[in-house]
Amino acid sequence: MPTSPGGPPSPLLTPRRTAAAMVALVLGGFGIGTTEFVTMGLLPEIAEGIDVSIPAAGHTISAYALGVVVGAPTIAVLGTRVPRRAMLVALMALFVLGNAASALAGSYALLSAARFLAGIPHGAFFAVASIVAVDLAAPGRGGRAVSQVMLGIPLATVVGVPTATWLGQQLGWRSAYWAVVVVGVATVALVLTAVPRLEADEGASARTELAAFRSAQLWLTLLVGAIGFGGMFSMYSYISPMLRHETGVAASTVPVFLLVFGIASVIGTIVGGRLVDRSVLRSVVGTALSLAASLVLVALSAGSVVLVSAAVFLASASASVFVLALQLRLMSVAGPARTLGAAGNHAALNIANAVGAWLGGAVIAAGWGWRAPSAVGSLLALAGLAILGLSVLLHRRDARAESLGA
């Protein structure tokens, strides 16, 4: 029967209730993925609604990312003794509050504050949901369980974001955030109904979570995500102008490429669960190489609709497995502070968002062309792989030292 590590066994779950619990976790991730990306699709409407320029409205995206970076480790440390189901409910309640405040915001300052608030539960929700999924899964199927939780974001890119964007264009941008509020409320109800009570890890405390920050392996793995995954954002942030200026497609065709990106992400997440169950480390290495190679292909093939479509598909699928593998590795290297490890992954990925977009913009501003961000992205993926290599070398050195001292 499912148990929480170190805690009492949870009530025996039927397959139906276990499936319902997983649906609750995926639904929450779907809502989070939708609110994270829908702002990008509604920037002109939002800018007009709060009477600011489009670049200024874009800063509300940064406010959300900042909320993720601040909220993920903070909640992981402060909420370490809270039972898992109660934590999930509290996080989704905060998510609902942040998005309702976004829908009601009447000024730029209020919207920025609301988006920061909405971002706070992002990383912690995925961390706790991943731990719950692993605890409910059969032995040896933890990777597949976490991949199901992470499926919420790619599903949001395929279904949630386009739907919410269309709704915001038809009924006003505020309606998109209200739609996300509905998803959040539904998630709370389903979590209360289907997710069993799972206690926090035995002996968990703020001190044990903070102690993980002394681990070089934790910091190196976070750096792998913050740098390596920046490669994906370097390409994705400028995919629309690259396709229009280099590939020569019409603006109306760009959403088709974004759909290809989203479908590849779904497939990559599903396949990634099986790959990670076989080997977390090999999955990180393999997908970092695949991501680097596919980003080079994006840059080289931008002049061909067919080839660039294939390259974007490969890049998206590789990135999805890369994120999943990093999530599992962080939960491992963090030791007893696995909530912090899992939450830290999402903070690192939002740093990657900022790093990748900034470097991509810098090479464009330098006059290197629209293909350059993808080429720079490949270098970032390889840099992440180099950091992982250092992490593995240090791990082997420490393991050798322990064996000699034993």
Specify if 94 maps to a domain: yes
Number of domains comprising the chain: 2
Is 113 found in the same domain as 245?
no
Is 246 found in the same domain as 166?
no
Question: Going by C-beta distance under 8 Å and a sequence separation of 6 or more, which residues neighbour residue 111?
Answer: 46, 50, 60, 102, 105
Is 168 found in the same domain as 222?
no
Specify if 387 maps to a domain: yes
Is 253 found in the same domain as 107?
no
CA separation (Å) from 141 to 21, 66, 145, 148, 282? 16, 33, 6, 11, 17
Is 311 found in the same domain as 294?
yes
- Domain edge (last residue) among 170, 200, 230: 200
Is 215 found in the same domain as 156?
no
Is 176 found in the same domain as 94?
yes
Specify if 40 maps to a domain: yes
- The residues of the chain scoring below 50 in pLDDT are 1-11, 406
Alpha-carbon distance 237 to 228, whole Å? Answer: 15
Specify if 20 maps to a domain: yes
- Residue 15's domain comprises 11-200
Is 176 found in the same domain as 268?
no
Is 258 found in the same domain as 316?
yes
DSSP string, 236-288: HTTHHHHIIIII---GGGHHHHHHHHHHHHHHHHHHHHHHHHH-HHHHHHHHH
Specify if 4 maps to a domain: no
Specify if 5 maps to a domain: no
Beta-bridge mates of residue 9: 3
- Domain edge (last residue) among 181, 200, 219: 200
Specify if 297 maps to a domain: yes
C-alpha gyration radius of the chain: 21
| Confidence at residue 121, expressed as pLDDT on a 0 to 100 scale | 94
| CATH number for the domain harbouring residue 269 | 1.20.1250.20
Single-letter code of the amino acid located at 236: Y
**SS3 state of residue 3:** strand
Alpha-carbon distance 25 to 76, whole Å? Answer: 17
The dihedrals phi and psi of 164, each to the nearest 5 degrees, come to -65, -35
- Domain edge (last residue) among 137, 167, 200: 200
Is 27 found in the same domain as 44?
yes
DSSP string, 137-152: SPTT-HHHHHHHHHTH
Alpha-carbon distance 124 to 70, whole Å? Answer: 10
Alpha-carbon distance 123 to 69, whole Å? Answer: 8
Specify if 6 maps to a domain: no
Q: Are 173 and 49 in contact (CB under 8 A)?
A: yes
Is 194 found in the same domain as 149?
yes
Is 220 found in the same domain as 168?
no
